Chain A
Amino acid sequence: QSVLTQPPSASWTPGQRVTISCSGSSSNIGTNNVYWYQQLPGTAPKLLIYSNNRRPSGVPDRFSGSKSGTSASLAISGLRSEDEADYYCAAWDDSLSGVVFGGGTKLTVL
Chain B
Amino acid sequence: EVQLVESGGGLVQPGGSLRLSCAASAFTFSSYWMYWVRQAPGKGLVWVSRISSDGISTNYADSVKGRFTISRDNAKNTVYLQMNSLRAEDTAVYYCARAVDPGIRGVGYWGQGTLVTVSS
Contacts and interface: CB of A to CB of B under 8 A. Distances in A.
A82 B47 CA distance: 27
Nearest to A47: B108
A64 B67 CA distance: 38
Contacts of A44: 95, 110-113
Interface stretch (B12-20, B22-30, B71-79, B99-107): B99-107
Interface residues of A, number: 26
A90 B110 contact: no
Contacts, number: 65
Nearest to A50: B100
B22 to A, nearest CB: 12
Given A99-B35, A99-B50, A47 B44 contact: no
For A47, A51, A56, the residue with the greatest tally of chain B CB atoms inside 10 Å of its CB is A47
Nearest to B60: A98
A2 B44 contact: yes
Contacts of B88: none
A40 interface: no
Contact of B104 (A50, A86, A96, A97): A50
A98 B108 contact: no
Interface in B43-98: 44-47, 50, 59-62, 95
Given A33-B106, A44-B95, A90-B106, A101 B112 contact: no
A99 B45 CA distance: 10
Contacts of B113: 44
Interface of B: 35, 37, 44-47, 50, 59-62, 95, 100, 104-113
Nearest 10 pairs of A and B residues by beta carbon: A99-B47, A104-B44, A44-B110, A101-B45, A35-B106, A50-B100, A103-B44, A47-B108, A44-B112, A45-B110
